[in-house]
Amino acid sequence: MVVNIGQLTEPKGTSLEALSGKIVAIDAYNTLYQFLSIIRRPDGTPLQDSAGRITSHLSGLIYRSTHLMEKEVKQIFVFDGKPQELKAAVIKARSDRRADAKRRWEEAKALHLDPDLIFKYAQASALIDETIVEDAKALLTYLGIPYVQAKEEGEAQAAYMVQKGDAELVASQDYDSLLFGAPVMIRNISAPRRKAQLELVAFTELAEKHGITREELVDIAILIGTDFNSGIKGIGVKRALKLIKKHHTIERLLNESAIEIAQIENYKLIRSIFLQPAVNESYEIAWGTPDEDKVKEFLCEEHNFSEERVSKILRKIEKIEQKKIAVTGSQKKIEQWL
DNA sequence: TTTGCACG
DNA sequence: CGTGCAAAA
């Protein structure tokens, strides 16, 4: 899904250059899922090492992260914690959908159906398991990029970190972080060669455009449907916006209109999940120096990446590090004169 | 300099 | 997805 409030946003085009020096809290699951679903061979098979372990996410992560490092974007990856109990239905539905897609993928392959269709089913069967998360965390550690473990929802944790001033924006393809209170978020954080434009969404712009508060936005989301409820049949963004602008809260909407309370299950609880999310408050963020030997060992020896490719990446990393040293060096010189 | 394509 | 290389413009 996740929450379909994208239509309410007024995204502004931006660039990686504009993010230079900024600290970005990146939705790790969102990112890994993208890599896992997209980085595949033409028949839909993900990239794998000689032991058959999936490496698509490692390829995506190493290239994107070093690219962002080069642009001096400071990354913090935020991983989901334990899911809300209310999310069980969505988790089950996604798991069923994946299983179904996997079956269709095998079928379509055996029948030599349209390659695009085969690829589509393969993509829909992408799954993030524990190994994938652990491998991603290991690579981030070797690259000196910090990550934070969320208590529950990653987007809630990322939003909290921006509110606290530990990061400046949330990066995700989903808009949930706005509901969790992120003041600014970006979408499509990818290399400039891709045509999708980097979008910056500021909560205040959305709020001013529609004349609504965050509380009202959350109620709108609940009417449409979230990961925690299925929403009301026949109500989409437009109607939900109109209804909440008129009645302001779900309570008043229920009193003043014909909508049955039974149709909005658990809305008070869901509201509190968005407005007072459980977060991990005791995280530490520190950027370290990349450990080139570890990166090489992990990617080449453990996961059979080509030495040539990895060496090229390491050379890029070295260049970035040298540039950093040069900058701090000249800063010290300036300090001496002051 | 931009665009398309194959590769991992 | 991000990259390198080749072709096109």
Q: A199 forms bridges with which residues in the sheet?
A: A13, A187
Token pair for A264: 């909005």
Q: Which of A101-105, A190-194, A258-262, A298-302 has the lowest mean pLDDT?
A: A258-262
Closest by alpha carbon to A59, among A328, A237, A310? A310
**Percent with pLDDT over 70 in chain A:** 96
Check whether A335 has a pLDDT greater than 70: no
Check whether A1 has a pLDDT greater than 50: no
- Pick A211-275's CATH classification: 3.40.50.920, 1.10.150.20, 1.10.520.10, 1.10.3720.10: 1.10.150.20
Could you check: is the Cβ of residue A287 within 7 Å of any atom of nucleic acid strand C?
no
The nucleotides of chain C lying under 7 Å from a protein CB are: 1-4
**Residue position matching structure tokens 């109109």:** A242
Find the Å distance, CA of residue A228 to C1' of nucleotide B3. Answer: 44
Could you check: is the Cβ of residue A54 within 7 Å of any atom of nucleic acid strand B?
no
Q: Cβ neighbours of residue A80 under 8 Å, at least 6 residues apart? A: A28, A29, A150, A152, A153, A154
CA distances A331 to A21, A86, A336, Å, are 16, 51, 9
- What is the residue-averaged pLDDT of chain A? 94
Cis bond leading into A148, ω under 30°? no
Nucleotide nearest to A40 (CA to C1'): B8
Closest by alpha carbon to A42, among A98, A153, A120? A120
CA distances A16 to A200, A239, A310, Å, are 11, 36, 23
Give yes or no for a contact between A80 and A133, defined as CB atoms under 8 angstroms apart: no
* Long-range Cβ contacts of A253-257 (<8 Å, 24+ apart): A253/A219
Find the Å distance, CA of residue A65 to C1' of nucleotide C9. Answer: 33
Give me the pLDDT at residue A193, please. 83
The nucleotides of chain B lying under 7 Å from a protein CB are: 3, 8
CATH architecture of A6-207: 3-Layer(aba) Sandwich (3.40)
Nucleotide nearest to A306 (CA to C1'): B8
Check whether A283 has a pLDDT greater than 90: yes
Domain boundaries, chain A: 6-207, 211-275
CA distances A139 to A29, A121, A123, A269, Å, are 15, 28, 23, 37
Nucleotide nearest to A304 (CA to C1'): B8
Q: What is the pLDDT of residues A50-80, one digit of tens each?
A: 999 999 999 999 999 999 999 999 999 999 9
Could you check: is the Cβ of residue A290 within 7 Å of any atom of nucleic acid strand C?
no
Q: What is the pLDDT of residues A84-111, one digit of tens each?
A: 999 999 999 999 999 999 999 999 999 9
Residue nearest to nucleotide B3 (CA to C1'): A193
> Per-residue pLDDT averaged across A118-141, rounded?
98
Residue A188, phi-psi category: left (phi > 0), alpha (psi -120 to 50), beta (remainder)? left
